[in-house]
């Protein structure tokens, strides 16, 4: 094979590796953002349960106060009842006391329901807290791994860039220019094999003349269809 072609193939290999690494590095911020949003969602889930728990406690305290004011009213009414000598007034006070007592029973039923709800929430919060801690641990580890990966990819890229530069310095300037333009515009490869008379870059048949010039390996030959530089694999 033409020695310049061999140089180009090595150069191309390094450049393809660099491109792969750059693509991988570009996806890392998305991975990180995804992990961070998972973390935030988990924390928000726990916080919303805790908020519900506080709300229930506020409602329960309010019911307790309502029971307290009615209990006071009852004892005031009982004193009045004790002091009165009029039978109808005594009975009217009795009805009022009964009304308050009924209200207290209702309030206490509601309070009991809230206490059951508070208990249920307490269990839910504990479970959510536990699972959130586990999630946080996993995600923190994943984030650390991600940072390490980014660092490793960065130094790999640096090494490859240095290698690429050294290789490029050995290639004829015009040929290097042609190679770079092809490499950047084609997206995959600038130098491709001819297999069974077909260019593996564009998958079109090359002319017999082109195929034999490639086979001879004495010069740089381009695909007449896509312009990529050709080499023979046979």
Q: Least separation, in Å, of the C-beta of 205 and Zn ion?
A: 9
- Calpha distance 120→70 (Å, rounded): 29
Q: Which residues pair with 232 in a beta bridge?
A: 194
Q: Least separation, in Å, of the C-beta of 176 and Zn ion?
A: 20
**Is 197 in a helix, a strand, or coil?**
coil
Residues 6+ apart with CB under 8 A from 226: 186, 199, 201, 202, 204
- Residue with smaller CB distance to Zn ion, 56 or 214: 214
- Residue with smaller CB distance to Zn ion, 94 or 217: 217
- Residue with smaller CB distance to Zn ion, 100 or 183: 183
Contact 192, 8 (CB under 8 A): no
Residue 39 CA: distances (Å) to CA of 62, 132, 148, 159: 35, 8, 19, 35
Q: Least separation, in Å, of the C-beta of 2 and Zn ion?
A: 18
Contact 189, 16 (CB under 8 A): yes
Q: Least separation, in Å, of the C-beta of 162 and Zn ion?
A: 31
Q: Least separation, in Å, of the C-beta of 231 and Zn ion?
A: 12
- Residue with smaller CB distance to Zn ion, 51 or 212: 212
Contact set with Zn ion (CB under 5 A): 199, 201-202, 223, 225-226
For residue 191, give the nearest of 3, 37, 6 by alpha carbon: 6
Q: Least separation, in Å, of the C-beta of 183 and Zn ion?
A: 14
- Residue with smaller CB distance to Zn ion, 49 or 193: 193
User: Which letter does DSSP use for residue 190 in this model?
Assistant: S
- Calpha distance 118→57 (Å, rounded): 7
- Residue with smaller CB distance to Zn ion, 11 or 199: 199
Residue 225, exposed/middle/buried by CB under 10 A (0-12, 13-18, 19+)?
middle
């Amino acid at each position: 094979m033409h020695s310049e072609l061999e140089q180009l193939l090595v150069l191309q290999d390094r450049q393809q590796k660099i491109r792969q690494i750059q693509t991988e590095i570009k996806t890392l911020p998305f991975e990180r953002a995804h992990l961070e949003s998972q973390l935030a969602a988990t924390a928000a889930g726990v916080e919303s349960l805790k908020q519900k728990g506080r709300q229930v406690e506020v409602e329960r305290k309010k019911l307790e106060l309502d029971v307290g004011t009615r209990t006071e009213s009852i004892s005031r009414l009982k004193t009045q009842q004790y002091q009165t000598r009029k039978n109808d007034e005594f009975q009217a006070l009795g009805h009022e006391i009964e009304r308050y007592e009924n209200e207290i029973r209702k309030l206490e039923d509601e309070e009991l329901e809230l206490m059951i709800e508070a208990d249920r929430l307490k269990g839910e919060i504990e479970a959510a807290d536990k699972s959130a801690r586990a999630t946080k641990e996993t995600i923190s580890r994943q984030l650390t791994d991600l940072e390490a990966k980014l660092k490793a990819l960065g130094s790999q890229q640096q090494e490859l860039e240095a290698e690429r530069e050294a290789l490029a310095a050995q290639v004829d300037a015009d040929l290097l220019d042609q190679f770079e333009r092809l490499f950047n515009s084609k997206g995959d490869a600038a130098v491709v094999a001819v297999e069974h008379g077909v260019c593996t870059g564009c998958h079109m048949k090359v002319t017999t003349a082109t195929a034999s010039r490639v086979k001879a390996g004495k010069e740089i030959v381009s695909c007449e269809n896509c312009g990529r530089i050709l080499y023979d694999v046979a």
